[in-house]
Amino acid sequence: MINSKGMVAQLLGQDPGWVIALKGLLIFIFCVVLTIMAVWGERRIVARMQMRLGPNRVGIFGIIQGLADGVKLALKEDLIPKTADKIVFIIAPIISATTCFMAFAVIPLTGEVSFFGHKTVMQLTDLPVGVLYVLAIASVGVYGIVLAGWSSGSTYPLLGGLRSSAQVISYEVAMALSLVAVFIYAGSMSTSDIVVAQDRWWYAVILFPSFAIYCISMVGETNRAPFDLAEAEGELVGGFHTEYSSLKFALFFLAEYINILAVSSLATTLFLGGYRAFPGLGFTETWLGGWFTLFWFFAKVLIFFFVFVWLRGTLPRLRYDQFMQFGWKTLIPVSLAWILIVSTLRVMSDQGAPQYLIFGFAFAVVLIYLVISNYSDNAKAKLATDYKNFTPENPEFPIPISNRTEQVIQIRDEAKK
C-alpha cells in the first residue's frame, strides 16, 4: 500500500528491464485501443445528442468502427503535394505521434499491484519533476503541428498550423499557472506524490478555481471544440493537416485523441485523486485495491472524455480574437491572483495566524473582487449604451464591441461637437 511520498519512486527503481519494456508496451496498447474506442464513443455520443444513431454497423454496436476507419486510411493513396518540403512533411506526423505517447510515462494508472509476481505500480517511471515533464512534452508536440502546417507548402495548412500553435502555447501558460497551487499543497511535482497527498481531500475540491482554469485550458490546449479554431472547417478546410492523407493523417488523428486522454489523465491525477476510489464509499487499498484501482482511474478519465464530447455537441466555436483575449486577459490574471491568495492563506495557517485574520483576509479578497467586477460591469454597461447610441451610417449588421469600437465612438463624438 502506498501511503508516503517517494515510495513509488523507490518501488519503480527496483523494476527489472523486462517489466519496464512490458509496461511500456502495455501503456502503448492501452493508448491505441482507447483511442479506437474513443473515436467510436465520441461519434456515438455526439450522434445521440443530435438525435441520430451514429455508427452501428461494424461489429456489435459498431464498436470496431475506429479500427475499420484506420484500415481504410491505410489503403488510401499517400499524397505529398509537390510544393511540400518532403522530409519535414514526413517527419511532422512522426513527431506528433511520438510525443503524445511519451506524456503517459509518468501517469500513475494503478496503486501497488502484483505484475507477474513482481511488486510494482502501473506507472512507467516516477520523476521528481513529473508534471513539468508532461508540460515539456506537450510543448514539443507543438513542433509537429507547426512543422506540418509550414511544410505543406499550402495556404490553409500554414494558417491552421500558426493558429493552432499560437492557441496551444497561449493556453499552456494558463494551464501551467493553474498547477502552481497544486504544487504548493502537495509540496512535490512528482505525479505519484501528488496522488498520495490527496488521501483526504481531492484538490478539485479545495483548489476549485485551479481545477476550473485547468479544465478550460486543457480544452484549448488540445484544440477541441469550442476552441477548435485550428480546424475551423468554414475558414481553413482542415487546418494544419489539410494536405495529409492516408496513415500520416491517421497519426495526427491518433495524436489528437491521445492528447485528450493525456490531459484528462493529468487532470485526474492532479485534481481527482488519480487511481484512488471516490471518497466516502469506504473503498480502501486493502479491500478492492490492487488492479481494481485501474477501474477508478479509468472511470475518472472517461468522465473527462465525456465532458469533451459533451462540449463538442453543445457549444458553437469561438471567434479567434475573443478566444485569445480570454486566454491572455482573463485566465492568466485570474490564475496569478489565485496563486497569491492561496499562498497567502497557506502561510497564514502555517504560521498559526488567528482565525479572525484568515477570515478577514478572505473577506477582503471577496470585497476587492466585488469592487473590480462592479467597475468592469459599469464599464461594460457604458460601452453598451455608447454602442446603442452609435448610429453614424446605420449599419444593419452588429459591430463587435471592442476597444476599437470604443475609439471609433470617441472620434465620432468629438467630430459631432
Residues numbered 28-67 forming contacts with other proteins, rule: CB under 8 A: 28, 32
Contact 158, 149 (CB under 8 A): yes
**Residue 2 phi/psi, 5° resolution?**
-100, 115
User: Stretches 37-45, 71-79, 275-283, 383-391: which one binds other proteins (CB under 8 A)?
Assistant: 71-79
Among 118, 119, 329, 380, indicate the residue that binds other proteins (CB under 8 A): 329
Would you say 33 or 53 has its CB closer to other proteins?
A: 33
In 3D space, the residue among 125, 111, 107 whose CA is nearest the CA of residue 30 turns out to be 107
Contact 120, 19 (CB under 8 A): yes
User: Stretches 53-61, 100-108, 195-203, 370-378: which one binds other proteins (CB under 8 A)?
Assistant: 100-108
Contacting residues for 132 by C-beta, under 8 A, at least 6 apart: 189
Would you say 156 or 297 has its CB closer to other proteins?
A: 156
**Block residue for cell numbers 489503403:** 75
- Alpha-carbon gap, residue 209 to 204, rounded angstroms: 8
User: Hey, how many other C-beta atoms are within 10 angstroms of the C-beta on 108?
Assistant: 28
Establish if 347 lies at the interface with other proteins (CB under 8 A): yes
Among 1, 74, 357, 371, indicate the residue that binds other proteins (CB under 8 A): 74
User: Mapped to the 3 state alphabet, what secondary structure does 52-76 carry?
Assistant: CCCCCCCCHHHCCHHHHHHHHHHCC
Closest distance of CB 127 from other proteins, Å = 5
User: Stretches 184-192, 297-305, 354-362, 406-414: which one binds other proteins (CB under 8 A)?
Assistant: 184-192
Among 49, 63, 67, 184, indicate the residue that binds other proteins (CB under 8 A): 184
Establish if 13 lies at the interface with other proteins (CB under 8 A): yes
User: Stretches 111-119, 122-130, 295-303, 366-374: which one binds other proteins (CB under 8 A)?
Assistant: 122-130
State the number of CA atoms in the 13 A half-sphere of 350 facing the CB: 8
CA distances from 385 to 388, 390, 406 (A): 5, 8, 11
Establish if 150 lies at the interface with other proteins (CB under 8 A): yes
Residue 284's SS3 state is coil
For other proteins, the binding residues in 297-326 under the rule CB under 8 A are 320-321, 324-325
Which helix (H) or strand (E) segment is 320 a member of? helix 320-325
For other proteins, the binding residues in 161-180 under the rule CB under 8 A are 162, 165-166, 169-170, 172-173, 176-177, 180
Would you say 177 or 261 has its CB closer to other proteins?
A: 177
User: Stretches 109-117, 222-230, 283-291, 401-409: which one binds other proteins (CB under 8 A)?
Assistant: 401-409
- Alpha-carbon gap, residue 119 to 116, rounded angstroms: 8
In 3D space, the residue among 231, 275, 271 whose CA is nearest the CA of residue 253 turns out to be 231
For other proteins, the binding residues in 229-288 under the rule CB under 8 A are 237, 242-243, 246-248, 250-251
Closest distance of CB 232 from other proteins, Å = 14
Would you say 101 or 308 has its CB closer to other proteins?
A: 101
For other proteins, the binding residues in 190-229 under the rule CB under 8 A are none
In 3D space, the residue among 185, 175, 169, 164 whose CA is nearest the CA of residue 332 turns out to be 175
Among 35, 110, 120, 188, indicate the residue that binds other proteins (CB under 8 A): 188
The identity of residue 355, as a single letter, is Q
Among 121, 189, 197, 260, indicate the residue that binds other proteins (CB under 8 A): 189
In 3D space, the residue among 219, 100, 92 whose CA is nearest the CA of residue 158 turns out to be 92
Number of residues located near other proteins, criterion CB under 8 A: 93
